[in-house]
């Protein structure tokens, strides 16, 4: 057995979450090793946030410009797909991680490239790309930050069909003439938006009766209408029962539950996520491989004194910014515990409790129109037993919307806790609403009383004046 090297902390996974855990514990004076078998920077940098938003930004910019008199005439032509894809490549660093590795080195952490697995308590074994073997021992903590992967359904023919997942959808180097998208969640609607604008004939197949089902129902209605107007064939209440693609090349045929068939050049399955915990040695520490890891608010795995699970793997909030937030919390907790500092487990808003995951995790969906939501939907608040009231306003009620775009369409909702008169959730749908979301996040997470929000005066004429309209509607009862 190779002689073990000791560190205070070993981080398994070097995506944004793992990078931030390493940075925080290093800043706290702890020696740190980071293990990554793919690219440093993880899913967000190369196959999710950055490349997807680079694809979507030209789409949204053109759509906004076409709604402004004096500009729309100049932007009637098609997008330059080659330029968009080249811009995307730059934002994905051409799938090279030299810059990220240099940053990680600058923190003082020791980087091990290779496949890392737990091998008993506080021990990680790394198999390097050239067959080298490392054994790492953690004095204080091992942080599992391995993220999540696309979850494919068990369908006849799918295994050999070379279907796209979110990775292929954000990194493809050519525009397919026909693209079928299976799934009506965030990845499905964003990629349908992007590839339709780049020239694909897109068919969106959704099992349920609406898009973005975890959000307020009106959100999915707005997005579905806009996709249809853009030329996407949106089919709700549609099941896929089989996939046919001979040899994994040529056109792909989707067999639908009603017997109908759809032919496409590529098919994207955007049907959920699974944790990357199936081959990291969880069984060597008494945990079940392939499962989400249950943690407390400091992101420490339940029943363990040394194992942490941070980011997607704990299934609290599968969002990059929430993973980075958890990393800050977990890093602070690891440092404090290494120094023998007692943590106040009852301190709801303390530096060692990732309570924002449940109190108000914000999310923007970069479709046209955009969606911004934070906190609980009306249905979620009611299911949780809160006595609530939903206040809705059409975004066209404010002057800023009309100035932003001709024919502006959008809606806002705030969910009010009637017992405490604070906001439990806020949702916006409409062009440009992503930039409204942080104000809503502050209101929800900060539990700002309605009476205080009344004195937060929005600037005129901006879309943020919708806050005034929402508060007026609430006060008028």
Write down the domain spans for the chain: 5-46+93-149+275-356, 166-271, 369-476
Query: Which residue has tokens 């940053």?
Result: 103
Going by CATH, does the domain composed of 166-271 fall within 3.50.30.40?
no
Contact indicator for 270, 149 with CB cutoff of 8 Å: no
User: Would you write out the chain's pLDDT as a tens digit for each of its 477 residues?
Assistant: 578 999 999 999 999 999 999 999 999 999 999 999 999 999 999 999 999 999 999 999 999 999 999 999 999 999 999 999 999 999 999 999 999 999 999 999 999 999 999 999 999 999 999 999 999 999 999 999 999 999 999 999 999 999 999 999 999 999 999 999 999 999 999 999 999 999 999 999 999 999 999 999 999 999 999 999 999 999 999 999 999 998 878 999 999 999 999 999 999 999 999 999 999 999 999 999 999 999 999 999 999 999 999 999 999 999 999 999 999 999 999 999 999 988 865 566 678 889 898 888 999 999 999 999 999 999 999 999 999 999 999 999 999 999 999 999 999 999 999 999 999 999 999 999 999 999 999 999 999 999 999 999 999 999 999 999 999 999 997
The model's pTM: 0.95
Q: In the prediction, which pLDDT does 469 show?
A: 97
5-46+93-149+275-356 and 369-476, same CATH topology? no
Q: Beta-carbon neighbour count of residue 160 at 10 Å?
A: 12
What CA–CA distance (Å, rounded) separates 342 from 336? 7
Instruction: Find the helix or strand (DSSP H, E) in which 378 lies.
Output: helix 378-383
* Nearest residue to 204 (alpha-carbon basis) of 233, 237, 238, 168: 233
Instruction: Find the helix or strand (DSSP H, E) in which 450 lies.
Output: helix 450-453
Topology (CATH) of 369-476: Enolase-like; domain 1 (3.30.390)
As given in the structure block, the two tokens for residue 301 are 């795995």
What CA–CA distance (Å, rounded) separates 243 from 45? 30
Quickly list DSSP for 27-44. Answer: HTT--EEEEESS-TTHHH
Helix axes 98-106, 16-27, angle to 10 degrees: 20
As given in the structure block, the two tokens for residue 381 are 């608040």
Exposure b/e, 431-460, CB count within 10 A at least 16 = b: bbbbebbebbbebbbeeeebeebeeeebee
CA distances from 473 to 70, 394, 470, 476 (A): 35, 11, 5, 5
Topology (CATH) of 5-46+93-149+275-356: FAD/NAD(P)-binding domain (3.50.50)
Q: In the prediction, which pLDDT does 360 show?
A: 87
């Amino acid at each position: 057995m190779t002689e073990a090297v000791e560190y205070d902390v070993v981080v398994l996974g070097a995506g944004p979450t793992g990078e931030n855990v390493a940075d925080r514990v290093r800043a706290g004076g702890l020696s740190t090793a980071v293990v990554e078998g793919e690219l440093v920077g993880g899913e967000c940098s190369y196959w999710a946030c950055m490349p997807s938003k680079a694809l979507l930004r030209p789409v949204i910019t053109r759509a906004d410009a076409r709604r402004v008199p004096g500009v729309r005439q100049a932007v009637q032509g098609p997008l330059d797909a080659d330029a968009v894809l080249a811009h995307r490549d730059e934002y994905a660093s051409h799938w090279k991680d030299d810059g990220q590795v240099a940053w990680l080195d600058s923190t003082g952490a020791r980087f091990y490239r290779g496949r890392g697995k737990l091998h008993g308590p506080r021990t990680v074994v790394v198999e390097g790309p050239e067959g080298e073997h490392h054994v790492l021992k953690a004095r204080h903590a091992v942080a599992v930050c391995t993220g999540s992967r696309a979850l494919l359904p068990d369908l006849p023919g799918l295994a050999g069909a070379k279907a796209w997942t979110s990775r292929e959808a954000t990194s493809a180097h050519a525009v397919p003439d026909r693209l079928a998208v299976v799934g009506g969640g965030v990845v499905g609607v964003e990629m349908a938006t992007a590839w339709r604008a780049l020239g694909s004939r897109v068919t969106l197949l959704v099992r349920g009766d609406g898009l973005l089902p975890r959000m307020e129902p009106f959100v999915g209605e707005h997005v579905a209408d806009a996709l249809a107007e853009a030329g996407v064939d949106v089919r709700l209440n549609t099941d896929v029962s089989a996939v046919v693609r001979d040899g994994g090349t040529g056109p792909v045929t989707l067999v639908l539950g009603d017997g109908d068939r759809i032919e496409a050049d590529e098919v994207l399955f955007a049907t959920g996520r699974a944790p990357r915990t199936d081959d990291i040695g969880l069984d060597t520490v008494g945990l079940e491989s392939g499962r989400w890891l249950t943690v407390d608010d400091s992101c420490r795995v339940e029943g363990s004194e040394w194992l942490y699970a941070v980011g997607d793997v704990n299934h609290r909030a599968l969002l990059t910014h929430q993973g980075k937030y958890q990393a800050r919390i977990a890093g602070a907790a690891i440092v404090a515990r290494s120094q023998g500092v007692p943590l106040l487990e009852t301190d709801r808003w303390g530096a060692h409790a990732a309570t924002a995951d449940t109190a108000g995790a914000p999310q923007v969906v970069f479709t046209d129109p955009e969606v911004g939501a934070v906190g609980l939907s009306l249905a979620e608040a009611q299911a949780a037993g809160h006595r609530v009231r939903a206040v809705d306003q059409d975004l066209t009620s404010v002057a800023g919307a009309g100035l932003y775009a001709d024919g502006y369409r959008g809606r806002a909702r705030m969910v009010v806790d009637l017992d405490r008169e604070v906001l439990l959730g806020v949702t916006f749908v409409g062009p440009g609403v992503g930039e409204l979301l942080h104000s809503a996040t502050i209101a929800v997470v900060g539990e700002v009383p309605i009476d205080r929000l009344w004195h937060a005066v929005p600037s005129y004429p901006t879309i943020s004046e919708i806050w005034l309209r929402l508060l007026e509607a609430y006060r008028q009862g």
